[in-house]
A and B are shown apart, each in its own frame.
Chain A
Amino acid sequence: MPIPPQPAIEVSNLVKSYAGVTAVNGISFTVPKGEIIGFLGPNGAGKSTTMRILTGYLPATSGSVSICGYSVVTDPDAVKKRVGYMPENNPLPDEMRVSEYLYFRGRLKEIPRGKLGSRIDEVLELCDLKRVRHKIIGKLSKGFRQRVGIAESVLAEPPVIIMDEPTIGLDPHQILIVRDLIASLRGRMTVLISSHILPEIEMTCDRVLIINQGRIVAQGTPADLRREVLGQSAYEIEAAGDLGSLPFLLGAIDPGLSVASEGTPDQYGFRTIKLKTLNAEDSGEAILRACMSEGLRVRALSRAHPTLEDVFLAATRRSWDAVSSGPGTRT
């Protein structure tokens, strides 16, 4: 498919308020075609509301949303044809069989009758559902149900897929399967997923949007976010010996490098020392050499990677007290 210039999802100044409560407050973002984007935020941040507006299920109070160039307000049918949506908790009719359900959904999504059978076979294969195709949905386990939901959302091969918490309530093995499934859509479809499970987002998504209290508090690739929100890297050394001269040595390597905390020595005399710096470059080797030259016995050195979890906590905390603190908030 040639890539047209317009982005897959374009949201500007989206506001949604219910009876005096503003759930979404001026969100703007664009998602280029073929990107997998993660939507992060604490409960009640407005993730689900935003997704529902994107699918045309809820009307927005103000602002504009367009999917593949079609406005949600003026052209809801065109938008609905281009979006595969899996709502929160993945509601499915319990009385139907998997293949019957997919057939019904395929008809609703206007897949021609002739193609539908082979397309259903394809998505069943893709989501590893062949074994349960004749089972009743109400009797399936959670993992299978979730995969039925995903199969349903990709059924009509929509250019945009929106999934609200696709991995909620799954065991790690099933999460892995779902993650691979989402990753396999990369490039072909634009995927917007929301999740609480941060490693999930970190591994699958090209870009992350963190929202809190209806506003976007941070966005970018996971690596960018780490730099932007935390702005520092950290090292951890396990060493034994006289630590008195360490601060001077460290200062020589990098003026910003300082000891954040020192642990108590264990039975062999080794203690854990945490270092932090604002410099993003890896100075692990220099630290190691400096320690050796001072006669310190080093057992371990590692560079601590701030996880997306840290970023998330930092970004949301920053927005809770947006007025009082700046970007340098510590985690």
Chain B
Amino acid sequence: MKHFFTILSHEVRMLLVSPSTYIAAVAFLSLMGFFFTGILEDYSKTPQDMSPASVFFLYYWFPVIFMVPLLTMKCLAEERRLGTIETLLTTPVTTTEVVLGKYAAAYLLYLVFWASTSGFFYILSHFAGEAHLIDPGPILGGYLFITVSGFFFIAIGVFASSLSKNQAVAGMLCVVMLAAFIFGGLYLAHAPWLEREALSPLKEAVMYADIFQHYEDFTRGIIDTREVLFYVSGTVISLIFSILSVEAKLLHS
């Protein structure tokens, strides 16, 4: 892991000079800003029983689906397209270090984007002055959920990028995989055909992987280690597959 930080700092710099990062950042912040003002308008008209933070974080899937691909689609696909992976891997660097460095850089940026939304809550608390709107529980839970689920989402993006030489293909693949994970669980959890007795173990597994359920638990303050384990193991598996994919493609290049 000697070279992990070298690659990490290089990748962060590369992301900071890449236009797609800024597109992602601007789109993300304006979209989340719209959501937030929309939520506040609803709250100012009629009182609601949920805190605005928990409603706000419910929209997490929307930025995830377009922001994660923009951050990760380039990382391995571009290296292979340009051939710089060859110069990279002929230095005393292992594939694991390369993949982890790129992963960590994308994840850091993802966190920075989300952290910047904390400005919304600051502005709200500063100007609204109504304590019931700012409930620290759901805000913390929401950010914690973003932090933990981000591990997995970014890993999926890195994996998608390792599969193709083409950034656009990697990006689309990433969107599809993220959508499958985020909505697949939601859809299957409410699918009537899974209600049958014989399928109950399957139903249980699906409920376990339902990301919206995890979200609800987190914002309620329930930090279930099984759920954390779900994201961590998903991340590890995706990263292992990414490393294997990069190495397998070398053998057949």
Residue pair B82, A85 in contact (C-beta under 8 Å): no
Which residue on chain A has the smallest CB distance to residue B88? A108
A109 touches B91 (CB 8 A): yes
Chain B residue contacts of A58, Cβ below 8 A: 250-251, 253
Quick check: B83 and A59 within 8 Å, CB to CB?
A: no
Contact pattern, A 69-97, Cβ under 8 Å of B = 1, otherwise 0: 00000000100110101110101111110
Of chain B, the residue at the smallest CB distance from A87 is B86
User: Is there an interface contact between B82 and A93, defined as CB atoms closer than 8 Å?
Assistant: yes
Closest-by-CB residue of A relative to B91 is A108
A57 B89 Cβ-Cβ under 8 A: yes
Number of A-B contacts (CB under 8 A): 62
Q: What range describes how many residues of A lie at the interface? A: 20 to 34
Q: B-side binding surface: helix, strand, loop or mixed? A: helix
B61 nearest CB across to chain A (Å): 31
Q: Is A35 an interface residue (CB 8 A)?
A: no
Asked if A95 and B251 sit within 8 Å, CB to CB, the answer is no
Expressed in whole angstroms, the Cα–Cα distance for A312 and B10 within the complex equals 44
Is A110 interfacial (CB-CB < 8 Å)? yes
Which chain A residues lie closer than 8 Å to B18 at the CB level? 95
**Are B14 and A56 in contact (CB-based, < 8 A)?**
no
A83-B90, A108-B91 known; A92-B84 Cβ under 8 A = yes
13 contacts between A and B (CB under 8 A): A55-B90, A57-B90, A57-B250, A58-B251, A59-B251, A81-B92, A94-B82, A100-B13, A104-B10, A105-B87, A107-B3, A109-B92, A152-B87
The residue that B2 contacts in the complex, of A56, A94, A110, with Cβ under 8 A, is: A110
Are A108 and B86 in contact (CB-based, < 8 A)?
Answer: no
> Smallest distance from the beta carbon of B172 to chain A beta carbons, Å?
23
Contact B92 A80 (CB under 8 A): yes
Q: Known contacts being A58-B251, A110-B2, is A80 close to B83, with CB within 8 Å?
A: no
- Whether B50 is near chain A, meaning CB under 8 Å from some CB there, is no
Q: For the complex formed, measure the closest distance between the CB of B77 and the CB atoms of chain A, giving whole angstroms.
A: 14
Residue of B nearest to A78 (CB): B92
B96-111: which have CB < 8 Å to A?
none
A18 at the interface (CB under 8 A from B): yes
- A245 CA / B203 CA spacing, docked (Å): 105
Q: A91 is contacted by which of B14, B86, B93 (Cβ under 8 Å)?
A: B86
CA distance A52 to B83 in the complex (A): 13
The answer to whether A85 and B10 have CB atoms under 8 Å apart is no
A68 to chain B, nearest CB (A): 14
**A100→B2 CA distance, assembly (Å):** 19
List chain B residues, Cβ under 8 A from A86.
Answer: 87
Q: Is A108 within 8 A of B93, CB to CB?
A: yes
**Residues A95 and B90 in contact, CB atoms below 8 Å apart:** no
- Known contacts A18-B252, A52-B86, A87-B83; 16 additional CB pairs below 8 A are A58-B251, A77-B92, A80-B90, A83-B90, A86-B87, A87-B86, A87-B90, A91-B87, A92-B84, A93-B82, A95-B18, A96-B14, A105-B87, A109-B91, A110-B2, A110-B92
Q: Tell me the smallest distance from the CB of A15 to a CB of chain B, in Å.
A: 15
Residues in A whose Cβ lies below 8 Å from that of B253: 58
B6 neighbours in A (Cβ, 8 Å): 104, 107-108
- Chain B residue with Cβ nearest A91: B83
Task: Decide if B198 is an interface residue (CB 8 Å cutoff).
Answer: no
Interface presence of B17 (CB below 8 A): yes
A91 and B90 contact, CB distance less than 8 A: no
Please provide the 10 A-B residue pairs with the shortest distance between their CB atoms, ordered closest to farther.
Answer: A91-B83, A108-B91, A107-B6, A55-B90, A80-B92, A85-B90, A87-B86, A91-B84, A91-B82, A77-B92
